[in-house]
Amino acid sequence: MIHYQMDGKVALVTGASGGIGRSAAQAFAGSGASVVVSDVQEEKGEETVKLITDEGGKAAFQLCDVSDEASVQALVDRAVSEYGRLDFAVNNAGINDIAKDEYELDVWQRSLDVNLTGVMLCMKAEAEAMLASGGGAIVNTSSINGLIGNPMQPAYNAGKHGVIGLTRHGALKWAKDGIRVNCVCPGFIETPMTDIITKSAKLTNSMKLITPMDRIGKPEEIASAMVWLCSDAASFVTGHPMVIDGGATAM
């Protein structure tokens, strides 16, 4: 994994109990940033912290439900109180109701509460903290489902499209304030959320067939892009939905 110079910087990552979020937290810590690890799964979130601290990095865990405004504010406040500032934020928390009937209103609403409203609440609180310390960078997690249609997941599909819209809104709103806002659009990635597929050889092969690179992506491949988007190497990049899908949407 490629590292950048982020000594003295502070990052927070939501949905960091595993998968892309855990890899992102480790990547920021590996680049020298102090990291606030956040998730609704406390035990697994603490595992992420231990993985970082065992490697000599700095990290702390904060329980957070991104669909709850008070919980999100407490997360951002923790970053500032623990490390004195906030420079980078990765809004990665999300849920996937692939096996459910998403036209049921409660399922639809819960999906949007986490996948879309959660990103909005995080951006709002994070930007306020970043403005106080002179700027920063935000990366939201969308999906290739934010770029193409999905006949089986209307709420997830709509929410991930919405994340791209929120990203572009934030990029324009804070462009002159030194805050850059981008998002990543992963294709099929090997994470706990996709275990139901990766445990099936038939389903895994189906995913490979629609991915020109003929393989499943790794969480660290998304994490590397997230860190790059927050780094000085991406200083003129904002409002960008970065597709990382092994060529799936190029077909």
Q: Which domains does the chain possess?
A: 10-191+218-244 (3.40.50.720)
With cut-offs at 50, 70 and 90, classify the pLDDT of residue 169: very high
Give me the pLDDT at residue 203, please.
Answer: 64
> Which range is most confident: 101-110, 120-129, 192-201?
120-129
Residue 118: pLDDT band (50, 70, 90) is very high
Q: Which pLDDT belongs to residue 80?
A: 98
Query: In the β-sheet with 241-244, what is the strand arrangement from edge to edge?
Result: 59-63, 34-39, 10-13, 88-91, 136-141, 179-186, 241-244
Q: Which helix (H) or strand (E) holds 49?
A: helix 42-53
18-72 pLDDT, tens digit each: 999 999 999 999 999 999 999 999 999 999 999 999 999 999 999 999 999 999 9
Residue 4 annotated as catalytic? no
Average pLDDT for the chain = 93
What single-letter DSSP state applies at residue 194?
A: G
pLDDT given for residue 208 in this prediction: 75
Q: How far is CA 206 from CA 64, 122, 139, 215, in A?
A: 35, 35, 29, 10
Q: E strands, the chain, where? A: 10-13, 34-39, 59-63, 88-91, 136-141, 179-186, 241-244
pTM over 0.75: yes
Q: What is the pLDDT, as a whole number, of residue 28? A: 98
Q: What's the average model confidence in pLDDT over 114-142? A: 98
Which is catalytic among the residues 4, 83, 103, 156? 156
Taking residues 145-165, what's their average pLDDT? 94
Q: Worst-scoring range by mean pLDDT, 6-10, 85-89, 95-99, 176-180? A: 95-99
- pLDDT tens for each residue of 205-244: 777 788 999 999 999 999 999 999 999 999 999 999 999 9
What's residue 42's pLDDT? 98
Q: What is the mean pLDDT of residues 175-186?
A: 98
Residue whose tokens read 């939905």: 241
